[in-house]
Amino acid sequence: MKHANISIFIPHIGCPHRCSFCDQRTISGAQRIPHGEDIKEICEKAFAEIKSPENTEIAFFGGSFTAIPQAYMLELLEAAYPFVGNDKFKGIRISTRPDCIDRDVLTLLKKYGVTAIELGAQSMSDKVLEANERGHSSADVENAAILIREYGFELGLQMMVGLYKSDMADEFETLDKIAAIRPDTVRIYPVVILKCTRLGDLYQSGEYNTFSFEDVTEFVADAMLRFADKGIKVIKCGLHASEFVEKDMVGGFYHPAFREICESHIYRRKIAETVGCKDGNNLVVAVNPTCISKAMGHKKSNCEYFKEQGINIKIIGNVDIPKYEIKISEVRR
């Protein structure tokens, strides 16, 4: 059964940081702050509507949950906790900063039914973290990950691709270190440059430019393959469409089909490797049935790509083939 989240946005009240990519004004100013009664109402409504609560988590997203004032954090947890347990929702997810994790806070989260913790790592290059004013180091991510595991929580890591001062070596360093931590889940966010942020100013002054769309999607394809090989689930790739992103974005990478484009690259590479070993120019490529459109490519771009090289490919589904694998099931001249 598919996993679902009841997403509740918690603005990061009074965040002392000023990360280069974050528009605090938008995050903290435009959103209404939910209170215990709101959480109760949201959970009651969701419980009445959702058919499989055992596969559903209450998810506090948006800010750094463990950095909000503790009285407010407790108000939220106390309101959500009665909806968690046997015959109720599976648990509670939260997202937070790596330097806002310690034993006391983990004990508290455990007591209130939190099951999964996602850390905004963003980069594992200290140079990049510093240039983007994150206020924590890569060691903070590694230490927090160890503690989270020790307390038995599901661990998620979020990474951002294309930040200020980041080159491809930094991106691969981040990928290597995150894969080595082996979180249960990752979210990959290609950078979105918003106006009213330091990144926006740097970008508009010409001081900062990021990768090309092609380079970013190729890198993310590498990352997705690496995570899949390690059994790490990529639960998000690219930002959701949102009014504030579309209104305030001045650069970076936002595409409604970002994940599909990256996964298309994976299939294009795999097919290209095989094409080199075959003599036929009419290939039937079998893939997992859930991946047929990814193998064909966004708007059939992979089919077109090979056609330009004189190779016709036909994609078919085969349940025995794992995700991201292919099998040439027929070669005709």
Residues 236-275 interacting with ligand SF4 (rule: CB under 6 A): none
Site string for ligand SF4, 34-73 (x = CB under 6 A): -----------------------------xx---------
Backbone angles phi, psi at 98, to 5 degrees: -65, -30
Q: Point out which span in 22-30, 173-181, 236-244, 245-253 binds ligand SF4 (CB under 6 A).
A: 22-30
For the record, the structure tokens of 32 come out as: 């209404």
Rule CB under 6 A: choose which of 6, 10, 15, 59 binds ligand SF4: 15
If one asks whether residue 194 binds ligand SF4 (CB under 6 A), the answer comes out as: no
If one asks whether residue 137 binds ligand SF4 (CB under 6 A), the answer comes out as: no
Q: In angstroms, rounded to a whole number, what is the distance separating the alpha carbons of residues 54 and 216?
A: 36
Rule CB under 6 A: choose which of 17, 236, 255, 270 binds ligand SF4: 17
For ligand SF4, give the closer residue by CB, 27 or 178: 27
Q: In angstroms, rounded to a whole number, what is the distance separating the alpha carbons of residues 24 and 5?
A: 24
Q: In angstroms, how far is CA 172 from the centroid of its own chain?
A: 16
Q: How many other C-beta atoms are found inside a 10 Å radius of the C-beta of residue 37?
A: 10
If one asks whether residue 18 binds ligand SF4 (CB under 6 A), the answer comes out as: yes
Residue appearing with tokens 């850390």: 119
Residues 67-126 interacting with ligand SF4 (rule: CB under 6 A): 97
Q: What sections of 209-321 are H helices per DSSP?
A: 213-229, 243-248, 258-275, 292-296, 301-308
Nearest distance from C-beta of residue 95 to ligand SF4, angstroms: 9
Contact by Cβ (8 Å): 21, 199: yes
Q: How many other C-beta atoms are found inside a 10 Å radius of the C-beta of residue 204?
A: 13
Rule CB under 6 A: choose which of 6, 8, 10, 12 binds ligand SF4: 12
CA distance from start to end of the chain:
43
Nearest distance from C-beta of residue 198 to ligand SF4, angstroms: 10
Residues making contact with ligand SF4 (CB under 6 A): 12, 15, 17-19, 22, 24, 27, 63-64, 97
